[in-house]
Copies of this chain bind each other. A is one copy, B any other.
């Protein structure tokens, strides 16, 4: 009577829900950080940059909803508790100082998120293709986000990618 969780569901179901709750926390922290940066955007390129921040915030919120939905399908409880959210999250809430700094904080956070999603994709692998496919499609968007941040940096600090 556990819905889609059949006996051949390989691996630890509790661990799966745990991993997804970390992903949920990661997305929620990203939403908060992008919102913060959206409201704190100042200066010459504010419109373009702030617009990018807001668009990312919206997409991260959609990711959070899809993850919470999947957690309930797996019979778990999505953890939205603000207490401990920061520690459950893979990426950090950094406020940044000025536009360049904010963009860099987001880039760092997206890269951390990418790493953790790649881990999760492997974790679910062949055992739970439905969850894996959801995470893969979120991962692809996060990679675009990281690329967008590099693009924004390059426009303000042309030597960035060269440094890479």
Mark out the residues of chain A between 104 and 151 whose CB falls within 8 Å of any chain B CB in the assembled complex.
Answer: 107, 110-112, 114-115, 118-119, 121-122, 125-130, 132-133, 135-137, 139-140, 142-144, 146-147, 149-151
Contact of A130 among B40, B89, B140, B154 (CB under 8 A): B140
Per the bound structure, the CA–CA distance linking A154 and B46 in Å amounts to 9
Give me 13 other A-B pairs in contact (C-beta within 8 A), A1-B164, A3-B146, A129-B132 excluded: A3-B143, A3-B150, A3-B161, A6-B111, A29-B82, A32-B82, A33-B80, A44-B158, A82-B85, A82-B93, A83-B86, A121-B126, A130-B140
Chain B residues near A23 (CB-CB < 8 A):
none
Evaluate contact between B107 and A81: CB separation under 8 angstroms: no
Task: Give the top 8 A-B pairs by smallest Cβ distance, nearest first.
Answer: A4-B143, A32-B80, A82-B85, A3-B150, A36-B80, A4-B146, A2-B164, A1-B164
- Does A69 touch B at the CB level, under 8 Å? yes
Determine the residue in chain B with the shortest Cβ distance to A79: B36
How many chain A residues sit at the interface, stated as a range, is 35 or more
Evaluate contact between B107 and A154: CB separation under 8 angstroms: no
Chain B residues near A81 (CB-CB < 8 A):
32, 36, 86, 93, 95
